[in-house]
Amino acid sequence: MIIHIHFHSRKTGVTRSVETIIPVMNRYAEARVFGYGIDSPKIGFPGLLKTVYTGGGTIIHTHRNNEILFALLLRLLGAKFRLIFTRHSDTKPSGFTLWLMNKADSVISLNPGMAKSLPCRNVMIPHGVDTELFSPGESTGIQGVEQKHLVSVVGRIRPSKGQLVAMKAIARLLANNREWGLMLVGRVDNTAYANEIRELAIKNNVESQVHFLPETDEIIKYYRASSVVIIPSVSEGFSLVCLEAMACGVLTIATATAGIHSSVIQHGINGFLFPVNDDAALSRILSEVIPGGAKPDPEIIRGTIVEKWSVDNNVRELLKVYSNKKE
């Protein structure tokens, strides 16, 4: 049995990645989640204990420090299983996190930069996206948003996600194109940062075109309503938004050195890349596509994800790791 542990009350990119792979894994083996804060087939505590103490060939896959600590406690108490840990952050791991990672049988990284920088042996396996679920479709409109053409930034509102860079880049374009709007979709983690974005919108007289929208379980609806998705992140462990938006055929403009952006996007062919924090470069790109400029073919954009970044590819690579000896 394959058991992913999930100890986190709020849905994050980690949550979405686990929710995506579990149904596909169940085509090949029995896969369950132990924990909370996630919509996936679960295994209870009695079932978990029975599996790790009496079953054979159990895999436990962890994603956070508290999860691997729990798994190591089970192992200390005599449980038998193969332990996998995925590193989701692109930052340098603390000494404690590195110690935990070295206790795993295999460590998985998500992008080339992370794979190279981690001070331990690891296998790079990028996430995948459900290309049947994330697909082009008719826009149904977004309640409270009047503009016909929309640019979206998806992610928690905080400096590392770069929404202010997007606001600086698009402010003048919005002022000159009143039928365009900017949607900032995500929980506000930093109120002062959000207020700075609002103040810039007011300064440029485009506050009616800038919309702060909460986290949503209907993110596909927002992608389909968007003409452009910007990912202005300073850093990313991966960037599921990039895969999801492109799978929906949406033009995606992303920072070149964050997450897997440069591995997925070929500048000018299936999307656009710009340097981190370079609002001038982003503005130049936006001025070429707003309004009605030349854009990559949506089929080419989506085809990139279908061919190389599907959840099926992700699961096949994970299953190889599950069946191997210690990396």
CB under 8 Å to 169, separation ≥6 — which residues?
Answer: 230, 232, 279, 280, 282, 283, 286
Q: Is 240:17 a contact under the CB 8 Å cutoff?
A: yes
pLDDT confidence tier of residue 68, bands split at 50, 70 and 90? very high
Residues 89-145: pLDDT tens digits? 888 899 999 999 999 999 999 998 899 999 999 999 999 999 999 999 998 889 899
pLDDT confidence tier of residue 325, bands split at 50, 70 and 90? low
Beta-ladder partners of 108: 86, 123
Beta-ladder partners of 36: 7
Structure tokens at 285: 């790109």
Residues 207-225: pLDDT tens digits? 999 999 999 989 999 999 9
Dihedral angle of Cα 219, 263, 321, 12, to the nearest 10 degrees = -30
Residues 230-242: pLDDT tens digits? 999 998 889 999 9
Whole-model pTM? 0.88
Q: In a 3-state reduction of DSSP, which class is residue 56?
A: coil
Q: Which residue has the tokens 């000159």?
A: 176
Q: CA-CA distance, 9 to 23, in Å (whole number)?
A: 21
Residues 151-202: pLDDT tens digits? 999 999 999 999 999 999 999 999 999 999 999 999 999 999 999 999 999 9
User: What domains lie within the chain, and their CATH numbers?
Assistant: 2-128+310-323 (3.40.50.2000), 149-308 (3.40.50.2000)
pLDDT confidence tier of residue 327, bands split at 50, 70 and 90? very low
Dihedral angle of Cα 157, 163, 164, 168, to the nearest 10 degrees = -150
Structure tokens at 94: 């603390």
Between 199 and 289, residue with greater pLDDT: 199
- How is residue 92 annotated by DSSP? P
| Average confidence score pLDDT of the chain | 94
Q: CA-CA distance, 180 to 146, in Å (whole number)?
A: 9
Residue 56 confidence (pLDDT) above 80? no
Percent of the chain at pLDDT exceeding 90: 87
Structure tokens at 163: 């929404």
Dihedral angle of Cα 65, 11, 301, 143, to the nearest 10 degrees = -160
pLDDT confidence tier of residue 59, bands split at 50, 70 and 90? very high
Q: What is the pLDDT of residue 180?
A: 95
Q: What is the pLDDT of residue 222?
A: 97
Phi then psi for residue 80, to 5 deg, are: -115, 120
Q: What is the pLDDT of residue 12?
A: 87
How remote is the C-alpha of 31 from its chain's centroid? 22
Beta strand 123-124 with 210-213 is unpaired
Mean pLDDT of 247-256: 97
Q: Is 317:125 a contact under the CB 8 Å cutoff?
A: yes
* Residue 161 CB burial class (10 angstroms; 0-12, 13-18, ≥19): buried
Q: CA-CA distance, 246 to 210, in Å (whole number)?
A: 23
